[in-house]
Amino acid sequence: MSRPNYVQRNIMILDRLDRKILNVLQRDGRIANADLAEKIGLSPSACLRRMRALEEARVIDSYVALLDQRKLGRRMDVFVEISLTGQSKETLESFERAVARSEEIMECFLMAGDADYILRLTAADPIDFERIHRDHLSQLPGVLRMKSSFAIRPIVKRTALPLSETADAADR
C-alpha cells in the first residue's frame, strides 16, 4: 500500500483524487466503495487503497452519524466561557480530564484571550441547562468564573472541511 506524502508539521499532501474522495465522504460517509470509485473516476481497488491510506494516516479520523439535536429535544446551544483559578499544569489537566468525562459537554476548546476555555453544550430548555450547570459545570475543578451565552439559532453549521485545490500548497 502506498504511503501518503507529508510536509513539515505532519500535514498530509493531498492530490486531486484524495480531495475528491474526502469531499464525497464528508457528504456521504456510507457511500459504497464502488459508487465512490465511479464518482471520482477510479477503479474500486485503487479507490479502496487510497481510502485505506487516508484512514491509516488518520486524515479520515472516524465515521459517524450526525444527529439532528433539535429533533432529539436538544433545542438550545449554550457556549460557556471558563476562567480557571490558575494556569498550572495540574489545574489545566484536572479541568480537561473532568470535561472529557462529562457527556453533557459537546466541545471544549483551550483559548487564548479573556477565557481559558470555551465549552459548547446542548440543552433541552432553561430548566435542563440549570440541571447541567448544577450537576456538571459547577463540579468542574479549578473554575474561577463562568459566563454562559445562549445561541438564538445556528446560521452556519458545517462538518465538512474545505478541501480546495490550493489547500495543500498554502501549507507548504
Torsion angle of C-alpha atoms 3, 8, 11, 14, degrees rounded to 10: -60
- Where do the CATH 3.30.70.920 domains begin and end in the chain? 71-151
CB atoms within 10 A of CB 129: 20
The amino acid that residue 66 corresponds to is: L
CATH architecture, range 71-151 = 2-Layer Sandwich (3.30)
Q: Where in the chain is the domain with CATH 1.10.10.10?
A: 16-57
Give the predicted TM-score (pTM) of the model. 0.83
* Band of residue 4 on the pLDDT scale cut at 50, 70, 90: low
The answer, yes or no, to whether residue 167 has pLDDT greater than 60, is no
CA 81/CA 56 separation, integer angstroms: 35
Pick the CATH number of 16-57 from 1.10.3720.10, 3.40.640.10, 1.10.10.10, 2.60.40.420: 1.10.10.10
Number of helices and strands in the chain (H, E)? 6, 6
Residue range 59-74, pLDDT digits in tens: 999 999 999 999 999 9
Beta bridge partners of 148: 80
